[in-house]
């Protein structure tokens, strides 16, 4: 278990402390009444999906002995009102990978923990 605490700074701006000594600032864009002092929670969710996908495929490639070099993961968030409707993930992989390696990395990308969490019902108490 990991503990995360959000504390209001002012307006919609929150300081978020993550167990282990990490901290982030969250806010809403000015158009939504925030001060834009940090990314919105939904945008951080998209960033989490991008980072998790990248790390997952990099770990897999490392275990296989594949040199990926630079990997880029882009996530586009489509909204339905204030809530995300969909996340579109695009992988930027090196040209030197063969078709089989690319196919395998696409499968592995969908197995990152954030992707899995967004794909199935999760219990929130």
Residue-number span of the structural domain to which 17 is assigned: 1-39
d(CA 17, CA 6): 7
Tokens of 91: 């992988």
- Buried/exposed code over 79-106 (b: 16+ C-beta within 10 A; e: otherwise): eeeeeeeebebebebeeebeeebeebbe
1 within some domain? yes
Computed from CA positions of residues 15, 11, 8, 3, in that sequence, does the dihedral angle turn out positive or negative? negative
Residue 124: inside a domain:
no
Query: From CA 111, how far away is CA 105, in angstroms rounded?
Result: 10
Q: Tens-of-pLDDT digits for all 125 residues of the chain?
A: 999 999 999 999 999 999 999 999 999 999 999 999 999 999 999 999 999 999 999 999 999 999 998 899 999 999 998 899 999 999 999 999 999 999 999 999 999 999 999 999 989 99
13 and 57 in one domain? no
């Amino acid at each position: 278990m990991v503990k995360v605490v959000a504390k209001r700074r002012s307006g919609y701006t929150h300081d978020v402390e993550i167990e282990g000594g990490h901290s982030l600032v969250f806010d809403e864009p000015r158009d939504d009444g925030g001060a834009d002092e940090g990314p919105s929670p939904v945008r951080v969710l998209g960033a989490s999906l991008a980072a998790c996908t990248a790390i997952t495929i990099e770990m897999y490639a490392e275990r296989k002995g594949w040199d990926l070099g630079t990997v880029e993961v882009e996530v586009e968030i489509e909204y339905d009102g204030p809530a995300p409707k969909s996340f579109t993930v695009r992988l930027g992989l090196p040209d030197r990978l063969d078709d089989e390696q690319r196919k395998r990395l696409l499968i592995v990308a969908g197995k990152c923990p954030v992707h899995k969490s967004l794909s199935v019902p999760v219990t929130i108490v």
